[in-house]
A and B are shown apart, each in its own frame.
Chain A
Amino acid sequence: MKLPYKYFEAIEKRAWLLGVLTAIFVSFGGLAEIVPLFAAANAVKAPEGVKPYSAIRLAGFETYVKSGCYTCHSQMIRHLSFETQRYGLVSTADESVYDRPMQWGSKRTGPDLARIGGKYSDEWQRAHLMDPRSVVPESNMPKYDWLSHKPINVKNLQGSMRAMQTLGTPYSDEEIAAAAAAVAGKTQMDALIAYLQGLGIDNKVQGAEPAHEADKL
C-alpha cells in the first residue's frame, strides 16, 4: 500500500496547514492523559485525615521549595517492597493533594523524605541542618546553618494561603489572619523542622493500607 505523495505535498506547501496539523498532533497525548486525571483528582479531593499545612509548616514548605531540596530528595515511596521496607507505606495520591507544587522529586542523592516525620528528634534535625557532617560524617549534604537566622516572610506566607484558598484549599479567613502570630519570632530553620517532622504523619491518610499484598512487610 502506497500513499500518494501529493497529499503530503499539499501539507508541505501550505505553512498554515502544516502549523495547524502540528498543533493538533502534539496535543493528543497530553489531552488523553491529563484531562482524565483532572476529573479523577476532583473526585478524590480532601481525604479524611489529610489537613492543609498549618502556617508554620507551610512556611517550612516554602523554605523546602525555595532551597531546591527536590533536586536531591524525593517524597514518593514507590509500589516496591524494598521501598516500603526502607521508607514506610507506599505514598498515595491523596497525601500530596495540598502540595503546590508537588515535591515527588526525580533524584535521590539523599534519601526519600515522604515519611521522615518523627523518625529523628527536633534536636537531631537542627544539628543535621546546621552541619550534616556533625551527625552523619559521610554525608554530602550542604550546611543550611543560615536558616537559623533567616526570618519567615509573613507577607508571602499569608499571600500563599490566600492564593491556595482561592484554588480550593480549605483555609479559613481566621486561619490566614492568625498566621502572622503563629510564626512570630520563628526562623526558617524552625519552620523547616516543623515541616519535616510532619511529613508522613500529618499527611497520612487514615487507615491507609499498602496497595499490594507483597508490600505488607
Chain B
Amino acid sequence: MQTQETYNDGVIRLFLLAAIVWALIGMTVGVYIAAELYWPNMHMGFPELTFGRLRPSHTFGVIFAFGGSALIGTSFYVAQRTCHTRLAFGGLAKFVFWGWQLCCVLAMITVPFGITQSKEYAEPEWWIDILIAIVWVSYGIVFFGTIARRRIKHIYVACWYYGAFIIAVGLMHIVNNLAIPVSLTRSIPIYSGVVDAMVQWWYGHNAVAFILTAGFLGMMYYFVPRQAQQPLWSYRFSIVNFWALISVYMWAGAHHLMYTALPDWVQSVGMAFSIILIMPSWGSAANGLMTFNGVWERVKTDPAAKFMVISLVFYGASTMEGSIMADKTVNSLSHYTDWTVAHVHSGSLGWVAMITIGSLYAMAPRILGMGEMYSKKAMEIHFWLHLLGTLIYVIAMWFAGIKAGLMWRALNPDGTLMYSFLDSLIAIKSMYVIRTVGGLFILTGMAIMAWNMLLTAQKGKGSIEAIAVPVEPIAAH
C-alpha cells in the first residue's frame, strides 16, 4: 500500500514567520529614517544610522526580506494547492529558506556599514549578489519542479505570475549587478553614466513590475477567489492581462529619467508604454474586484477580504497615478519630490502590504492547524490602523511633493526664481513629522498582526496535521 502524499507546509510556516519578523524590522527602520528627516541628529553620531546608510536597509527589508519571504512562502503554498502535488525537492526548499534569510541578514547589516554599491534597490555588494543568485536559481528549481510534477494538467494563472516573477527577477538581478570585484567592500560596475542609468532603472522599474506587481498578482489570483469562495471573474481576461503586463512593463523604465541626459527617443518610448500600462493594470484590478461580485457582504464580516478589496482599489489607484506621473509634463513637477515617495508608498503600503496581509491572514490558520485566526477583532483593528496610517502617510507626502515641486518652478514677474531650495525644505518639513506618525500607525498594526499570529500558532500547536494531497484518477499527464 502506498502512503498518502501530503503537502509540505513546514517550510511555508517558516516563511510566514520570517515575513512577519522582517515586516517589523523593515518598517521600524522606515519609521526611524522618516523621523531623521525632521530630527537630523537622531543618528547620535553613528554613521551606520544616517539616512543615506539606512534607507537601503529599509527598502531591502520591506521589499526583499518581508515581500520576498511572503512571496516565496505563498508561491510554495499556491503551487502545491493548484497542482495537487507535494513540493518538489524538500531539502532544496529548506535551503531556499535559510539561504534567503542569510541573504537578507547580510544585506541589511553590510549596507549600513558602507559595504554597498549604491545602486538603488540593488545595494548589496557583489558577493551577496552571487549568493542571492544561487538561492534564486534554487528557488526556481523548487517552484518549476513542483509545476513539473503536477497532477492537474492545466497550470493556474497564479502560477504564471509567480513563474514570471521568478524568471524576470533572476534575469534582471544578474544583468543589473554585473561588476568587477575589487575587494569584499568594493566593486566597479561594468556600466557607466547614461548606460548605467538606463540599466539601473530598467532594473529598478522592473523590480516594481515583477516583484511588487507580478509576484503579488500571483498571490491575488489565488487568495482572492479563495477568500470570495467563488471562481475568478474572468479567466480569459486574466490571460490577456498577463501577456500584456509582462511585455509592456519592461519598456516603461525610462519614465524615471525624464528630461535627463537620456536620449529623447528612449524617454518618449518609456512614456508611451507607461500610459499603455494602465490597461493590463486595471484589467487585473477589475478582475480581482469583480470576483467579489455577489458576495460583497463578505467584506463587512471578513477582515482578510477587507484587506484584499482595499488592496485592489489601491492597486488601481496607484497604477493610474503612475501612468499620470510618467507623462513628461506631470513628471517635470513630480520628479525628485516627495510625490514620488507618496506614489511608491501608496503602491507598497496600499497594494503590496495589504494583499500580503490579507493573504497571510487567509493562509496562516490553514497551515497552523486552526480553523481561523486567534482574534478577529485584532484583524479588524489592524485593518483600520493600516488604512489610516497609509492615508496619513500618502496625503502628507503628496502635499510635500506638490508644494516643493511648485516652489522649485515658481518665478517672479521679472523671471527670476521666487524661492531658494531651502525655502522649499522649510515649507514641507512639518509633513515629515506627519508622515512619521502615519508610519507609526502602520507599524503598530503589524505588531498586532504578529501578536495575533503568535497566539494562533500557539493555540494550533497540537493540532497541526499534514494535509493530504487530493489524488484524483483524472490525474496523470
Q: Which residues of A contact B (CB under 8 A)?
A: 5, 8-9, 12-13, 15, 18-19, 22-23, 25-30, 32-34, 37-38, 40-41, 62, 65-72, 74, 76, 78-80, 82-83, 85-86, 90-102, 104-112, 132-133, 136, 138-146, 153, 155-156, 159-160, 162-164, 166-167, 217
Contact = CB atoms under 8 A, between A and B. Distances in A.
A94 B39 CA distance: 38
Given A25-B247, A26-B168, A159-B183, A85 B41 contact: no
A101 B118 contact: yes
Given A82-B409, A86-B421, A142-B51, A34 B198 contact: yes
Tell me the dominant secondary structure on chain A's binding face.
helix
Interface string B193-209: 11111111010001000
A78 B164 contact: no
The 6 nearest A-B residue pairs measured at CB: A68-B52, A29-B250, A29-B251, A78-B259, A159-B182, A163-B188
B38 interface: yes
B298 interface: no
Interface stretch (B100-108, B153-161, B444-452): B153-161
Contacts of B249: 26, 29
A153 B52 CA distance: 20
Chain B: number of interface residues, binned into ranges = 35 or more
Nearest to B40: A140
B2 interface: no
A166 B189 CA distance: 12
Contact of B195 (A41, A133, A153): A41
A163 B195 contact: no
B251 A82 contact: no
Interface stretch (B260-268, B307-315, B362-370): B260-268
Given A33-B266, A166-B180, A97 B190 contact: no
Given A33-B269, A139-B422, A146-B47, 11 more contacts: A27-B250, A29-B253, A41-B193, A82-B408, A86-B417, A96-B197, A98-B193, A105-B336, A153-B185, A163-B182, A167-B192
Contact of B160 (A18, A80, A155, A217): A18
B342 to A, nearest CB: 12
A102 B55 CA distance: 18
A96 B116 contact: no
A13 B154 contact: yes
Contact of B114 (A66, A76, A141, A142): A66
A102 B197 contact: yes
B424 to A, nearest CB: 9
A97 B337 contact: no
Nearest to B243: A25
Contact of B120 (A66, A67, A106, A153): A106
A167 B180 contact: yes
B116 A68 contact: yes
Contact of B40 (A95, A139, A155): A139
A96 B193 contact: yes
B95 interface: no
Given A15-B148, A30-B202, A71 B55 contact: yes
B191 A163 contact: no
Nearest to B247: A25
A66 B110 CA distance: 11
Contacts of B163: 18-19, 22
A139 B386 CA distance: 31
Contact of A101 (B43, B180, B200): B200
Contacts of B378: none
Interface in B295-311: none
Contacts of A140: 37-38, 40, 425, 429, 432
B254 A33 contact: yes
B171 interface: yes
A13 B83 CA distance: 11
A165 B417 CA distance: 43
B147 A15 contact: yes
A66 to B, nearest CB: 4
Contacts of A23: 167, 171
A146 B202 contact: no
